[in-house]
Structure 1
Amino acid sequence: MSEEVKPESMPLCPVSAAATPEQELLCIFGTGDLGRSLGHRLLQAGYKVVYGSRRPHSCGPLPPGTQAMSHEVAAKSANLVFICVHREHYDFLETLAPQLKGKVLVDVSNNLKKNMYPEANAEYLQRLVPGAHVVKAFNTLSAWALQNGPSDANRQVYLCGNSAVAKQAVAETASKLGFTVLDRGSLSAARELEDSPLQLFPEWRLPIRLAIGLTASFFFYLLIRDVVFAYVEQGKDISFRIMVSLANKVFPIVSIIMLSLCYLPGVIAAFLQLYRGTKYKRFPDWLDRWMLCRKQLGLLALAFASLHVLYTLIIPIRYYVRYRLAQNTISQIKENKTSEFDTTLAWRTDSYFSVGILGYGLYLLLGISSLPSVSNSLSWREFSFIQSKLGYLTLFFCTFHTYLYGWDKFLRPSYYKWFTPPGYMLSLVVPSVVLVLRLLLFLPCVDRTLTRIRQGWERSDAENDSKKSLLT
């Protein structure tokens, strides 16, 4: 019985050191959209490209400068072969095992859903062609990204494989195409790479669920307080206000709560470090997950704030508002009355709008600075200053804006319909708590201790702590 030879021990046929990119020939199995886009990009990078096809004479238009031939002939012509076919069509590769021995096979395939097969496509390919060196790569890129070149959103190429030499060859090719290469280790990581394109906004799930939950909760709460209460207690049908008035109350409430939830985990983490006296203990899993989705929470909060701004801008052109203004004007004419100008009310409304505009402006700054193209151009100190210092200032302006909106309404019993507080009062609970806790962290004694902890100081026990405090 002949001894089985492991793929890693197979000789890899490297390209001659004297070869140039113009002389290097690469092979692509598959003439679909991805195969044609990849070939087009390789040609732009200076490579020669041949295609392997089961129908070389009727495979459709290919990039100019390439040629199609049978799989067997194409496999012999190049040392690096891109497998751009679906897994269910891999069977023909087993018959090409002698021609593919020692070659680098780049598996770019994906599946339609997770756990579709018991093993990863790349592992299955390695089992079909044990003499080749299989590398999983390029599967996280679309045909459009390959055709048009890398951009900020799809600049990275992830790869994995059992042969370091084979991975180096693929990495060099990806670098020449303008991509950044990230090595994920051995071929056992192939399933993780194949599952990556199938994920649908994994980091957005918790923020989206939270946004939907808050929106639905406050919508029904305000629906009962405003519309149902007016119909039951006063006999008025104001259901038309659901479309604009009610929505314009829900959006700012959800926005300010979600903005405060961006900064609440950081405050909790600071107090947890103060309590533990060290920064070297892990945070609870729920706090870790919460802190990792702060960017998504902030962007959704900005979206709700933008909706609030747009809905507010259309208020003057609403039929209901124009009708009320006309009725009020006619009533004053009939009664020969003129409303006196209220300076206090003017100051309050102007302050309310001014603070809201400032808060929304800072809101936009936070959102813009979180874009990868912008954040990559900022230093860590600049990014931290905008997201932390200006972030808390944004929360303060938005909270103050809401307080100015409420003014003294909390003192009037008529606003507590069916003994329930107005929605704006409920929206102030979380941001007010966050701002108060943050102010406590600004106290010199607290800030000094927290800074020392984050610099590596640990509180071991009471005796050592007292000695250290005397020394400092």
Structure 2
Amino acid sequence: MPGGDMAKPLLGRRNMESNPDLTPAAGRTVGILGSGDFARSLATRLVYSGFQVVVGSRNPKRCAGLFPSAAEVTAQADAAKKTDVIFVAVFREHYSTLCDLTDVLAGKILVDVSNNTEINHHKESNAEYLASLFPACTVVKGFNVISAWTLQSGPRDGNKQVLICCDNQEAKRIVAEIAQVMGFTPVDMGSLSSACEIENIPLRLLPAWKIPVFLALGLFLCFYTYNFIRQVLHPYIREQKNRFYKIPVEVVNSTLPCVAYVMLSLVYLPGVLAASFQLHYGTKYRRFPDWLDQWLQHRKQIGLLSFFCAALHAVYSLCLPMRRSHRYQLINAAIKQSTLGFIALVVSTLHTLTFGWTRAFDENQYKFYLPPSYTLTLLVPCTVILAKIFFHLPCIHQRLRRIRNGWEKGRYVKFTLPSATGEYSSGESSSNV
């Protein structure tokens, strides 16, 4: 990457001028060992955050043009002498090349930013390995979950959290302050033994999607098997009709809206359970069970997968006559935005009830005594809608709103609630309100 481009990141000095509190007090000098892409992005970000940067390279003359003009590019030994905090931006297999600097690095803080190519590729983490090579230094693991692009463009366009771990609290505090000045949010992950876990994080593929994807696949498999028995297996056994041609298109197309419908309901069901939990204990400060907490955190992914299934159903419907696809067309509106998503859930439920009300009482619709698939999909949505209606009853809604504004059962507290006109009125409450 040319030096001119690196000298003009998307995060300019104007942000520093508008936030003078971000400027380090004494303009701390920070060192970097390495001249790769991450080292160049890190140097650029440090310079524009107000730090004095010294870069140590094995070929300083060749690499000087790749760094911002404000950064000093020199030999590794010279860079190590000029600062007490040094970012080690080299690969693990190159750590041994720094052993010649053992005496110069003694007493320094080394920030290991490296990652592995595989999860648990080595018995010990890179940071622990670096600490074993330089026992006279204090090694801090950090910045490995931040990409080079994020360093250049700013935390608003990427991950803001910097995970930090170290056995020395003072060293951890210093690195955390550097991260804050750069605009990131430091997160204390404990001792250096946590470095292995931190190094595995960038290697995990979409960790927040694992549970929602397995949920979607499980629902698809269940509904597909159910529809296969009703639409293909039952006619073949009872009427000797070969309808196996329905397997790739029609059975899949009748399965997708069921999955989309149920998953859209599962977006709102944890909110209902959370409200019930708060009403039962009379406080918002009690921690939810782990399973409910995880469910609440995965609502976005579940909603997006619901929309994906609905969109895929629309594509499949193009392969069928319009008369076959009109029955599920309203489910294609299953988007995840809070209000619109719930409206889509209500409309889809009304549509399904209207469509299947007469069929639900038709004996011919029960294949192998199995009810139509749409009747099964109504269980969760109807539960969610009825619970939402219950929570919007004035007496229940008022109590739930007080809890979410800080009121606790059994305690006498003051609270402020918005009135119907938008103004705020103060009040007092105790456990008997």
TM-score by length of 1: 0.68
1:278-335 CA distances to partner (integer Å, 9 max, x unpaired)? 66654433333323322222222122122223333x25xx5xx39x99xxxxxxxxxx
Q: What is the deviation of 1:106?
A: 1.7
Asked whether the 8 Å contact 1:41–1:147 carries over to 2, the reply is yes
Q: What is the deviation of 1:210?
A: 0.9
For 1:419, what is the secondary structure of its paired residue? coil
Change (3 A) 1:83 1:458: same
> What 5-or-longer segments of structure 2 have no aligned partner?
1-23, 412-429
What aligned pairs does 1:290-309 form with structure 2 within 5 A after superposition? 290-309=295-314
Q: What is the deviation of 1:47?
A: 5.9
Q: Report what 1:128 is aligned to.
A: 133
2:96 equivalent to 1:91 = yes
Q: Say which of 391, 408, 412 aligns to 1:456.
A: 408
Asked whether the 8 Å contact 2:43–2:68 carries over to 1, the reply is no
Asked whether the 8 Å contact 2:118–2:203 carries over to 1, the reply is yes
Asked whether the 8 Å contact 2:150–2:158 carries over to 1, the reply is no
Q: Say which of 32, 41, 53 aligns to 1:37.
A: 41
Q: What is the deviation of 1:100?
A: 1.4
Q: Say which of 225, 228, 239 aligns to 1:223.
A: 228
The one-letter amino acid paired with 1:290 is W
What aligned pairs does 1:72-87 form with structure 2 within 5 A after superposition? 72-87=77-92
Higher mean displacement: 177-186 or 414-423: 177-186
For 1:364, what is the secondary structure of its paired residue? coil
2:259 equivalent to 1:254 = yes
Larger relative CO (CA 8 A, sep 6+): 1 or 2?
Answer: 1
Q: Report what 1:409 is aligned to.
A: 359
Q: Say which of 388, 392, 399 aligns to 1:438.
A: 388
Asked whether the 8 Å contact 1:251–1:304 carries over to 2, the reply is yes
Asked whether the 8 Å contact 1:160–1:183 carries over to 2, the reply is yes
2:250 equivalent to 1:245 = yes
Asked whether the 8 Å contact 1:30–1:84 carries over to 2, the reply is yes
For 1:134, what is the secondary structure of its paired residue? strand
1:420-452 CA distances to partner (integer Å, 9 max, x unpaired)? 211111111111122223333334454455556
CA separation in 1, counterparts of 2:160 and 2:283? 38
Q: Say which of 192, 195, 208 aligns to 1:190.
A: 195
What aligned pairs does 1:172-187 form with structure 2 within 5 A after superposition? 173-175=178-180, 177-184=182-189, 187=192
Higher mean displacement: 226-235 or 133-142: 226-235
The one-letter amino acid paired with 1:398 is S
CA separation in 2, counterparts of 1:156 and 1:284? 25
Aligned residue pairs total 388
What aligned pairs does 1:152-163 form with structure 2 within 5 A after superposition? 152-161=157-166
Asked whether the 8 Å contact 2:281–2:409 carries over to 1, the reply is no
What aligned pairs does 1:217-366 form with structure 2 within 5 A after superposition? 217-275=222-280, 282-312=287-317, 314-315=318-319, 318=320, 321=321, 356=330, 360=333, 363-364=334-335, 366=337
TM-score by length of 2: 0.74
The one-letter amino acid paired with 1:429 is L
For 1:27, what is the secondary structure of its paired residue? strand
The one-letter amino acid paired with 2:80 is A
The one-letter amino acid paired with 1:221 is Y
Q: Report what 2:210 is aligned to.
A: 205
The one-letter amino acid paired with 1:456 is E
For 1:52, what is the secondary structure of its paired residue? strand
The one-letter amino acid paired with 1:264 is L
Q: Say which of 359, 365, 369 aligns to 1:419.
A: 369
Higher mean displacement: 247-256 or 280-289: 280-289
For 1:90, what is the secondary structure of its paired residue? helix
After superposition, the CA RMSD in angstroms is: 3.9
2:31 equivalent to 1:27 = yes
Q: Report what 1:381 is aligned to.
A: none
Q: What is the deviation of 1:25?
A: 5.6
The one-letter amino acid paired with 2:366 is Y
Q: What is the deviation of 1:404?
A: 2.9
CA separation in 1, counterparts of 2:41 and 2:401? 52
Q: Say which of 335, 339, 343 aligns to 1:393.
A: 343
CA separation in 1, counterparts of 2:162 and 2:367? 58
> Which has the larger Rg?
1
2:155 equivalent to 1:141 = no
Asked whether the 8 Å contact 1:93–1:128 carries over to 2, the reply is no
Work out the percentage of aligned pairs sharing the same amino acid: 44
Q: Report what 1:13 is aligned to.
A: none
For 2:409, what is the secondary structure of its paired residue? coil
Q: What is the deviation of 1:212?
A: 0.5
Asked whether the 8 Å contact 2:300–2:336 carries over to 1, the reply is no
CA separation in 1, counterparts of 2:380 and 2:65? 60
What aligned pairs does 1:109-120 form with structure 2 within 5 A after superposition? 109-117=114-122, 119-120=124-125
Change (3 A) 1:119 1:42: same
